[in-house]
Chains A and B, each alone.
Chain A
């Protein structure tokens, strides 16, 4: 199928001739003055529609601006202004294009291209000019009478390279706040903090937690915080459920972290930190809506599907004298997504035993 099986003796050229730019096909409006006149009127009408659109938009702004309080009437006002803007734009647009297509001369024209490369003379000239400049400055190979100043080259380059630091170091240094990344290790939970309902902040009694129910939990006192409340909340949110104790597989070393089938887990996904908010009572599965990591609450909140790798950290809980559920300590590991030194503390590795002080 390639050119090889082509017979040798032909007098044909081995490729076809370029037929050249096709002839111009006249349009209706080129041939018929009536059609041209009609096209002209159409274009003018479209420009007219544009003007009308502008009038509508301005009228709607003044006439309908007393917007109601309900979303519908607000949306209506905006829709009418929008229709005005739309017509104002479409009118000009279609008009201009119709004009170009029907009435402007449309004979194709040819323009030559030139190779982009500069001519040899101008290249030579450019190089000579640069050479002269280098010599005049004394950076490069020296010309008669102009001493070579190599020291200047080195020091200038060094100065230019380090000068940005004078600006960047304060800039970057200031942007990170106190840079205390150790904060990531701790949350608001302490021994004795009551588990409270999210969002109203009322503490929860163990007796309120029926089997199968799930509570979105924040630490008591969070709502009263002023500064730093969202940062605290972003780490401290917890999901608490009560399972039939027979369904619950207690993790080794965590025998006293739950209470009568009530378990509490960090609600910050160990994948990239979305709130793991969807609890399915039948399967005891907790689903993260962001990327669908699925955790099994009845079995240490281990990952059963999805992109997360680690189980959700468990919050050790107990019940106080008044029957309220309290935390026994903070989480024993950083909550949320993994990071490089999450298992390192300033004084060595973080071990589970250490966490549950």
Chain B
């Protein structure tokens, strides 16, 4: 039987290959090498939760009715009998209460969405802190960044579909921000909503965006993203035998097929577990959208909290200085534009273009395939932690009612605290992180020079007690010493030998200052000579 199966397989393979020359691809791909590290799985989590979204999303489309027509509910859920609601809301109730497994699928879909957005951010953080965005991967960083934005779009459009009170208020907030855009704001709002808020076309439009446009874009970008990963070959952490010119790891087939394939099912299993046991978005408790009621302590999905936090934090007026200006009879609401548009644009713009900024500021031009340990790039790591601090403060302010409750604080005091913290804490975080990284580098030097403490105390002939230090093994030592030790750039003199000021030297000075910002404080790796010398001392 075995040979029969083999023959059949060979036959099929031959059939396909003669028509596609797939053999070449298989030869090329099957044993491609992938390095291994837990942090490389974050991107996989994002990919797999997206697949779960596709699967559960297709289930939901079978029952969801994207319509804002108003009906009187007559389904099985008792407390909503006769209530006026949109068909979209009613069909969400029906999916939950009348389709066996429907509630499960809604919850799986929603949990998967939360995991999707979260894993993308963690994946991005991994890429950032290890310097994986450096040449030649800058373009892929930008693709990944776009995917992150698309994930927010996917989440927000989906969250709005059930047309419940909470999501409706979310849309109203968007409407308010859009209207604040100078000159064309009201027209953009009319364009989105098909007239006045809330209108009758928004849900169908969001539906098309949610199930077609956004997923198609995400799918295309993921394909491009993964293609570039293959083309570039994965980066690797430093270690013995790993250089910028090779990749060390295990082959795609069978090891990674089994590990990564298996991991998909684990991710799916985790999401199914969440969906089975943890209620999420119980829209039947909120009720259908109505512009009038709102309950206290309502929260958007977590990935929107940072904008909500910025909106909460921004004062309408500070110490008598108003942030809404009337100029020539026209109203300019900086209290909306700063948190709603300018802050996100700056934050995202910085993230999107950081790879180019760093390459330019440090003058680093080579292909980089071995990752940085975060401690070996203290300034970059500091910047990353500062941005995260900034983001986390916004998220906390976005849930300030919960935070205030938890710690028995006054809501207003908390907001005032955050208004200061948003400027101060990121700077503090940067400085502390940078110090911490330099400290770790010094610790590495210590370890290389003097080895690990063993806890074993021995007595010398001369009566002195000393602790035995065990030298690092070759592999551990290599990791601790193998990093680039870059000195700040040197500026050419501002005036040439004839005393004429050199063109562009001011700009050079600025670049030099940036280079100093990155590399002024640094700890160089131990050299063999230093190690030799340290050993002589003992």
Contacts and interface: CB of A to CB of B under 8 A. Distances in A.
Contacts of A111: 32-33, 233, 246-248
Given A18-B240, A61-B101, A337-B336, A307 B316 contact: yes
A12 B528 contact: yes
B258 A305 contact: no
B101 to A, nearest CB: 5
A155 interface: no
A289 B296 contact: yes
B104 A176 contact: no
B284 interface: yes
Contacts of A125: none
A222 B254 CA distance: 67
A165 interface: no
A271 B316 contact: yes
Interface residues of B, number: 134
B248 A108 contact: yes
A309 B316 contact: yes
Interface string A333-351: 0001111111110000100
Interface string A7-31: 1001011111011111000000000
A289 B298 contact: yes
A94 interface: yes
Given A86-B273, A231-B196, A273 B172 contact: yes
Interface stretch (A206-214, A248-256, A274-282, A321-329): A274-282
A115 B481 contact: no
Interface in A17-50: 18-22
Which of A1, A87, A176, A277 gathers most chain B CB within 10 Å? A176
Nearest to B76: A69
Contact of B477 (A16, A79, A104, A233): A16
A309 B337 CA distance: 13
B520 to A, nearest CB: 12
B341 to A, nearest CB: 12
Contacts of A79: 104, 276-277
Interface in B240-294: 240-251, 254-255, 258-259, 261-269, 272-273, 275-277, 279, 284, 289-294
B247 A339 contact: no
A346 to B, nearest CB: 13
B532 interface: yes
A337 B103 contact: no
A110 B336 contact: no
A125 B512 CA distance: 39
B179 to A, nearest CB: 4
B186 A339 contact: yes
Interface string A137-154: 000000000000000000
Contact of B265 (A22, A82, A89): A89
A10 to B, nearest CB: 4
B272 A89 contact: yes
Contacts of A69: 76-78, 97
- In this complex, the interface size class of chain A, counting residues with CB under 8 Å from chain B, is 35 or more
Contacts of B329: 341, 343-344, 349
Contacts of B103: 74-75, 78
Contacts of A277: 292-294
Given A75-B103, A82-B104, A176 B292 contact: no
Given A67-B100, A110-B33, A1 B524 contact: yes
A156 interface: no
B197 interface: yes
B284 A113 contact: no
A278 to B, nearest CB: 6
Contacts of B485: 2-3
A338 B179 contact: yes
Interface stretch (B141-149, B187-195, B349-357, B492-500): B187-195
Contacts of A229: 70
Nearest to B231: A116
B482 A93 contact: no
Contacts of B244: 113
B367 interface: yes
Contacts of A166: none
Contacts of B231: 116
A341 B335 CA distance: 16
Given A82-B272, A90-B266, A15 B179 contact: no
A238 B241 CA distance: 72
A237 B172 CA distance: 14
Given A305-B412, A344-B330, A115 B367 contact: yes
B527 A6 contact: yes
Contact of A93 (B266, B311, B481, B525): B266
A72 to B, nearest CB: 11
A18 B241 contact: yes
A183 interface: yes
B100 A290 contact: no
Given A110-B247, A218-B292, A231 B199 contact: yes
Contact of B100 (A77, A271, A310): A77
Which of B180, B196, B528 gathers most chain A CB within 10 Å? B196
Contact of A96 (B33, B98, B261, B475): B261
B246 A112 contact: yes
Contacts of B367: 115-116
A272 B258 contact: no
Interface string A161-174: 00000000000100
Contacts of A82: 104, 107-108, 272-273, 275-277
Contacts of A105: 255
A108 B249 contact: yes
A18 B243 contact: yes
Which of B103, B241, B333 gathers most chain A CB within 10 Å? B333
| Cβ-closest 4 pairs across A and B | A82-B276, A272-B176, A96-B262, A93-B265
Interface of A: 1-3, 6-7, 10, 12-16, 18-22, 61, 64-65, 67, 69-71, 74-75, 77-79, 81-83, 85-87, 89-97, 99-101, 104-106, 108-113, 115-116, 172, 175-181, 183-184, 198-199, 216, 218, 229-231, 233-235, 237, 267-268, 271-275, 277-278, 289-294, 303, 305-310, 336-344, 349
Given A89-B266, A340-B185, 14 more contacts: A12-B529, A12-B532, A18-B243, A89-B265, A97-B263, A100-B262, A216-B292, A231-B195, A235-B196, A271-B336, A291-B308, A307-B311, A309-B316, A309-B335
26 contacts: A1-B523, A16-B481, A19-B474, A67-B98, A67-B100, A69-B76, A81-B100, A89-B272, A97-B263, A100-B259, A109-B31, A111-B33, A111-B233, A113-B233, A116-B367, A176-B187, A176-B190, A176-B194, A179-B187, A180-B195, A198-B292, A233-B290, A271-B336, A290-B311, A305-B415, A343-B329
